[in-house]
């Protein structure tokens, strides 16, 4: 036993809201005592610590100091942290609220853990669909209010992303390999085609330079053609691999989750379609992205590809020859062929 006096408990501490993150709760506590979060932590014996660092996982001493001041149990404090997120995925935790639940929006001081994770599409407290400024476009992807099939796929993809982030996923190809595959450019960058709706933010509308700007064409657009049809042009260029998740809009991340679920169901068929829709330059990148996939699965991909290429004149052009132009038609054909994957009413 040390001779130090016992730590004095503060008279009042608000109860954490369901799913609330530690930085939110500390900010509310600080506001109650008319100080800043860093001032509060200083008074708590945690000088120099940042709330956003503490919430990634409390050390025992930090937890005990906070528990002694606030009267919460260490377990209740731990529940507000992102301790379940593995170190390799912590860069995906946003310090701000990424996407909004309309009901949570009524109490903006309370920020929940869900809203910080890029694979969250529903509020786990209220079950509302999370929103972003692009919600009108998400409605375009999900017309009629019955997006059951796409939602089911997105929930499965989201669960897989969450499991990977918590180091509970050992399926192959791994989540990073799948995201790497989905974010490669399978075709050269090109300006929008005439039948491509140039969905632009208001600030860019009427700007011809923006409309003619070459856009990245990624494998994601082949695996989720529904997204290709409605995604804003400025949303299509993407960062490579997992960085994309951290930066993506809710619409992009929703499409990525759908793609991950589709790839889990039939990876060989989807990968073969991406290769078939590639141009020569992009095809080399696709082959490279497939290298980490299990060899048996890669063999299935190439078997599917042979069937696809045998199925049409475009595909029989042979490896290594230029298929530009005609592969646009193929891409269209493939999208049409995928229409059985769409939910009723989704167009």
> Which residues of this protein are in contact with Zn ion, per CB under 5 A?
101, 103-104, 123, 125-126
Query: Any idea what DSSP says for residue 109?
Result: T
- Residue number with CB closer to Zn ion (129 or 304): 129
CB of 102 to Zn ion, least distance (A): 8
Taking the complex as a whole, how short is the minimal distance between the CB of residue 126 and Zn ion, in angstroms? 4
- Return the number of the residue (254 or 293) whose C-beta is nearest Zn ion: 254
What lies within 8 Å, CB to CB, of 41 at 6+ separation is 26, 47, 49, 51, 54
128-138 in b/e burial notation, b at 16+ Cβ within 10 A? ebbbeebbebb
Q: Cα separation of 162 and 124, whole Å? A: 13
Residue 10 C-beta: closest distance to Zn ion, Å:
28
Buried b / exposed e over 107-120, threshold 16 CB at 10 Å, is eeebbbbbbbbbbb
Pick between residue 24 and residue 278 the one whose CB is nearest to Zn ion.
Answer: 24
Among residues 126 and 156, whose Cβ is nearest to Zn ion? 126
Instruction: Quote the Cα angle for 320-321-324, to 5°.
Output: 120
Residues in the chain: 347
- % helix, strand, coil for the chain, step of 5: 55, 5, 40
The CA distance from 51 to 316, in Å, is: 59
Residue 151 CB, shortest distance to Zn ion, in Å, is 17
Query: Which of 106/296 has CB closer to Zn ion?
Result: 106
Q: How near is the Cβ of 108 to Zn ion at its closest, in Å?
A: 12
């Amino acid at each position: 036993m040390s001779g130090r006096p016992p730590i004095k408990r503060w008279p009042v501490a608000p109860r954490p809201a369901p799913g609330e993150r530690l930085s939110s709760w500390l900010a509310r506590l600080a506001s109650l005592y008319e100080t800043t979060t860093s001032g509060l932590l200083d008074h708590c014996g945690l000088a120099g610590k940042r709330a956003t660092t503490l919430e990634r996982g409390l050390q025992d001493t930090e937890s005990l100091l906070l528990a002694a001041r606030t009267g919460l149990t260490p377990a209740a404090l731990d529940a507000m942290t992102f301790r379940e997120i593995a170190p390799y995925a912590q860069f995906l935790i946003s310090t701000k609220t990424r996407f909004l639940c309309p009901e949570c929006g009524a109490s903006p001081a309370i920020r929940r853990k869900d809203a910080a994770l890029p694979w969250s599409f529903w509020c786990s407290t209220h079950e509302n669909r999370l929103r972003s400024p692009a919600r009108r476009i998400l409605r375009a992807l999900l017309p009629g209010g019955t997006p059951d099939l796409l939602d089911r796929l997105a929930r499965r993809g989201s669960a897989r992303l969450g499991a990977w982030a918590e180091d509970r996923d050992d399926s192959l190809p791994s989540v990073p390999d799948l995201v790497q595959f989905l974010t490669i450019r399978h075709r050269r960058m090109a300006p929008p085609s005439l039948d491509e709706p140039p969905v632009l933010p208001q600030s860019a509308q009427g700007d011809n330079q923006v409309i003619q700007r070459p856009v990245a064409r990624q494998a994601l657009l082949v695996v989720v053609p529904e997204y290709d049809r409605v995604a804003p042009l400025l949303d299509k260029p993407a960062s490579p691999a997992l960085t994309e998740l951290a930066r993506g809009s809710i619409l992009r991340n929703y499409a990525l989750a759908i793609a991950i679920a589709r790839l889990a169901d039939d990876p060989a068929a989807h990968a073969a379609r991406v290769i078939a829709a590639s141009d020569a330059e992009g095809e080399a990148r696709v082959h490279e992205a497939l290298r980490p996939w299990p060899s048996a699965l890669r063999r299935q991909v190439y078997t599917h590809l042979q069937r696809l290429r045998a199925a049409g004149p475009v595909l029989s052009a042979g490896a290594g020859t230029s298929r530009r132009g005609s592969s646009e038609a193929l891409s269209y054909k493939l999208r049409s062929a995928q229409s059985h994957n769409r939910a009723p009413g989704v167009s």
